[in-house]
Amino acid sequence: MRKIIFVTGNPHKVIEATGILAPLGIEIVQNNCGYPELQEDGLAAIASFGAKWAANKLNCEVMVDDSGIFIEGLSGFPGPYSAYVAKTLGNERIIKLMERESNRNAVFKCVIGYCRPDEEALVFSGEVKGKIAKSIRGNLGFGYDPIFEVDGVTFGEMGDEEKNRISHRCRALVKFATWLKDGK
């Protein structure tokens, strides 16, 4: 089984990644060493920088995940600042911001950054389109899951198996796993 260090402080992301990659013969080991996060508008630049920094610091192959929710009615906000906004505003205030907004379309995006020491990082992206729900629904998942709705159901109402089949993270991880399986 191939072992890859997942540099993240978010155990929920590790659980999702393990559920998706373990059946493909990839063991995920969490390391919470952190990495400097660029202040960029794009997730790919942030994930690429973080992966390269962490690979060189830890001297092993690593992956990082930079994810965000991009809400059309809020001009793409919070985007790459999603983690900060979740901590400071939370889902209730996002719902309040959206109260009079007719355009509730949103895209959840994930970029997996992967790097080996002294090499350039590669990125693998995935996204899923949905809407911001009118209320918080469900207590499963984490972060924005209870307000992100796909086909009438929030991620917070979906079990792990159902969510992992369609999620932005799943789509990025499947691209990454396919690349790894091709002998990389």
Active site residues: 66
Residue 96 and residue 67: Cα distance in Å, rounded? 22
Residue 64 and residue 52: Cα distance in Å, rounded? 9
* Encoded tokens for 156: 């917070």
Residue 77 and residue 119: Cα distance in Å, rounded? 32
Residue 182 zone, left/alpha/beta (φ > 0; ψ -120 to 50; rest): alpha
For 47, which DSSP code?
H
Q: Are 36 and 93 in contact (CB under 8 A)?
A: no
Helix H, strand E, coil C: the string for 107-171 is EEEEEEEEECCCCCCEEEEEEEEEEECCCCCCCCCCCCHHHEEECCEEHHHCCHHHHHHHCHHHH
